[in-house]
Chain A
């Protein structure tokens, strides 16, 4: 069955939810891609999202994997256009209007009001993901370790994620 219309619908919808960051759309992404359309499993979604954090560029490029799995190369392209098209057009329009909006008093209100909500959405996405990613002492220790190191020192997060892969291999050795 042709999945491309469904892919476009889902990712265009997810794109407008990414207020504050890609993670804000994660709870909804889990429901739609895992439970509704069954393009992948929850562990697979978590794995792809996490590996995607190591790739350079915008941090949601893992969506091309979902598109590719569901509908091949065309699916990957469709997902990219659907996910970056609507928000791209919106950013373009706002960029053009910005000078005029500068003196609009509600602009500051919107920015200040959306800040706590967008951070809350990030945190909610994080909790959804933690339900699948944190199980037991080892994974909890890795998450807390990464958090503390990043708060204390200026380290490139990519290195920490790579290091955690090695720790994972040592902590969960193949039987």
Chain B
């Protein structure tokens, strides 16, 4: 933690990112609370706008690197980012402040929604609307799949691994962990170090 903050001070070319020693736990909590309350339609752009553009707590290069850590770990991007950024700013207390802040607004909202849905969810009008909402969610996930594939799949073998995963879960009814370990190991070995990279950086 102290290591990373001195580094920021010593590097004049990253002067757009303020020294993280200045950021208090309260500020971290508040900033992530605001992101948690306003990030309709996907958290990542809001995180970037707030942490990089508005607060200068991290620079763009750090943001991209932290996002790539967050994406390759289990857990949601939003909460992993909160933990990673919080850790960089103020150690474990920063991580806790950030993750609680980003979860609180949506959690309270869904708590209320859950209570409402339980008592009114069977009204015809609500069910009709929910049918539309559920269908839209399917389209939304598909669009995420398409944009992620464009960004991070390289070569036809990646598509084979993707297809194998889908078949294992949906057709062969394998559990997700078994699929993850099985196909994941295969794919990691395929991309093993030292193998000639045909494509340049895919991240």
Which A residues have a C-beta under 8 Å from some C-beta of B?
15-25, 27-28, 44, 46-62, 64-66, 68-69, 73, 76, 80, 84, 87-88, 90-92, 94-96, 98, 105-106, 108-130, 132-134, 138-140, 142-147, 150-151, 156-161, 163-169, 171-175
Q: Which residues of B contact A150 (CB under 8 A)?
A: 139-140, 143
> DSSP majority for the A interface?
helix
Interchain CB contact (< 8 A) of A23 among B124, B128, B141 = B141
Check B141–A125 contact: CB distance below 8 A: yes
Cα–Cα distance between A144 and B74 once the two chains are bound (Å): 29
Which B residues have a C-beta under 8 Å from some C-beta of A?
35-43, 66, 68-80, 83-84, 87-88, 92, 95, 99, 102-107, 109-111, 113-115, 117-118, 121, 124-125, 127-149, 152-154, 158-166, 168-170, 175-177, 179-180, 183-194, 202-203
> DSSP majority for the B interface?
helix
Interface centre among A117, A146, A156 (most CB of B within 10 A): A117
Check B136–A57 contact: CB distance below 8 A: no
Check A172–B131 contact: CB distance below 8 A: yes
Q: Which residues of B contact A69 (CB under 8 A)?
A: 114, 118
Interchain CB contact (< 8 A) of A20 among B69, B71, B163 = B71
Q: Which residue of B lies closest to A168 (CB)?
A: B132
Cα–Cα distance between A119 and B200 once the two chains are bound (Å): 20
Check A130–B138 contact: CB distance below 8 A: yes
Cα–Cα distance between A66 and B74 once the two chains are bound (Å): 21
Query: Contacts A54-B40, A57-B103 hold; do A119 and B184 have CB atoms under 8 A apart?
Result: no
**Known contacts A64-B111, A146-B140, A156-B41; can you find 7 more A-B pairs with CB under 8 A?**
A46-B134, A48-B114, A88-B95, A114-B188, A118-B71, A157-B140, A169-B128
Check A80–B103 contact: CB distance below 8 A: yes
Q: Which residue of B lies closest to A146 (CB)?
A: B139
Check B132–A167 contact: CB distance below 8 A: yes
Q: Which residues of A contact B74 (CB under 8 A)?
A: 15-19, 87, 90
Cα–Cα distance between A139 and B137 once the two chains are bound (Å): 11
Q: Which residue of A lies closest to B193 (CB)?
A: A105
Interchain CB contact (< 8 A) of B131 among A61, A98, A168 = A168
Q: Which residues of A contact B75 (CB under 8 A)?
A: 15, 18, 84, 87-88, 90-91
Check A111–B132 contact: CB distance below 8 A: no
Min Cβ gap A127→B in Å is 5
Check B79–A88 contact: CB distance below 8 A: yes
Min Cβ gap B189→A in Å is 7
Check A164–B136 contact: CB distance below 8 A: yes
